[in-house]
């Protein structure tokens, strides 16, 4: 999933019973206000609207995380932050996006998946600190978005079809997946030669 797709998720998008995540929106920052600058809008393309399967590991993580979030809600009580969506229309009256704003009411709140302990919704800012640790303390230079490329490369090397990988990533054209998301290491290139040799070398041939 794209970064904005991940942090736009609500619990309504996650079907743990059927192990499906519905991707139908993205989040982005517009205003400078610290607590109300996040907006939910349409995905990058029509093809980005999709469903992805929840594997066993992700299921376990989401299941446990949801229980932890419920515990925090009880712990913070009335001080737990809650949010609603405010419609934003263009000059022609067409709904174009939703603004995420804090609510004082406990009714009709949107249940965002990724929030801080007290319920504060921080959009994609919530990963700034973890990646600061990754960059400066672990010395790994990467972005959250780069995980999409890692996913695509590992899946392809494991035998998955490029068309299936493209659909999971939300790409309409497999050329996009091949050109921008599949990486090649020295080991991968060496494996090409090794596999070729295995396929063309006559059986039981002993070269002296």
Q: Is residue 29 part of a domain?
A: yes
Q: Give the span between the Cα atoms of 181 and 162, in whole angstroms.
A: 11
Q: For position 200, what pLDDT does the model report?
A: 73
Co-location of 83 and 157 in the same domain:
no
Q: Is residue 207 part of a domain?
A: no
Co-location of 110 and 185 in the same domain:
no
Q: Is residue 208 part of a domain?
A: no
CB neighbours of residue 56 within 10 Å: 8
Q: For position 204, what pLDDT does the model report?
A: 57
Q: For position 179, what pLDDT does the model report?
A: 84
Of 118, 136, 154, the last residue of a domain is: 136
User: Based on C-alpha coordinates, what's the Rg of the chain?
Assistant: 22
What is the per-residue pLDDT across 7-17, written as a single tens digit (0 to 9) for each?
A: 999 999 999 99
Of 136, 159, 184, the last residue of a domain is: 136
Q: Give the span between the Cα atoms of 196 and 190, in whole angstroms.
A: 10
Co-location of 196 and 110 in the same domain:
no
Q: What is the pLDDT along the chain (208 residues), one digit of tens a residue?
A: 999 999 999 999 999 999 999 999 999 998 776 557 899 999 988 889 999 999 999 999 999 999 999 999 999 999 999 999 999 999 999 999 999 999 988 787 999 999 999 999 999 999 999 999 999 999 988 888 888 998 898 898 888 999 999 999 998 888 888 887 887 767 767 776 777 777 776 665 555 5
Co-location of 189 and 97 in the same domain:
no
Q: Give the span between the Cα atoms of 67 and 73, in whole angstroms.
A: 10
- DSSP labels for 107-128? SS-B-BSS--TT----GGGGGH
Co-location of 155 and 131 in the same domain:
no
Q: How many distinct structural domains can be found in the chain? A: 2
Q: Is residue 206 part of a domain?
A: no
Q: Give the span between the Cα atoms of 37 and 28, in whole angstroms.
A: 8
Q: Is residue 170 part of a domain?
A: yes
Co-location of 31 and 125 in the same domain:
yes
Whole-number average pLDDT of the chain: 88
Q: Is residue 205 part of a domain?
A: no
Q: Is residue 183 part of a domain?
A: yes
Co-location of 34 and 118 in the same domain:
yes
Co-location of 91 and 180 in the same domain:
no
Co-location of 191 and 129 in the same domain:
no
Angle at 62 (CA atoms; ends 56, 68), nearest 5 degrees: 140
Co-location of 163 and 86 in the same domain:
no
Query: Which residue carries 């309504």 as its tokens?
Result: 12
Co-location of 130 and 52 in the same domain:
yes
Q: For position 206, what pLDDT does the model report?
A: 58
Of 95, 112, 136, the last residue of a domain is: 136
Q: Does the predicted model carry a pTM greater than 0.85? A: no
Co-location of 52 and 33 in the same domain:
yes
Q: Quick one: CA torsion of 16, 116, 106, 15, rounded to 10 degrees?
A: -10
- Identify the domain containing residue 161 by its residue range: 146-200
């Amino acid at each position: 999933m794209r970064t904005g797709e991940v942090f736009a998720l609500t619990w309504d998008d996650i079907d743990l019973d059927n192990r499906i995540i519905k991707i139908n929106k993205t989040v982005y920052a517009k205003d400078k206000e610290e607590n109300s600058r996040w907006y939910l809008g349409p995905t990058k393309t029509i093809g980005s609207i999709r469903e992805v399967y929840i594997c066993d590991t992700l299921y376990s993580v989401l299941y446990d995380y949801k229980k932890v979030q419920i515990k925090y809600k009880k712990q913070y009580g009335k001080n737990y932050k809650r949010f609603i969506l405010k419609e934003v229309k263009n000059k022609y009256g067409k709904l174009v996006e939703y603004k995420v704003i804090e609510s004082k009411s406990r009714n009709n709140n949107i249940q965002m998946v990724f929030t801080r302990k007290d319920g504060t919704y921080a959009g994609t800012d919530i990963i700034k600190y973890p990646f600061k640790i990754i960059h400066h303390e672990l010395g790994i230079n990467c972005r959250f978005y780069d995980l999409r490329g890692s996913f695509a490369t590992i899946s392809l090397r494991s035998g998955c079809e490029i068309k299936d990988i493209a659909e999971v990533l939300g790409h309409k054209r497999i050329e996009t997946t091949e050109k921008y998301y599949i990486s090649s290491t020295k080991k991968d290139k060496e494996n090409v030669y090794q596999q070729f040799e295995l396929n063309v070398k006559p059986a039981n041939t002993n070269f002296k």
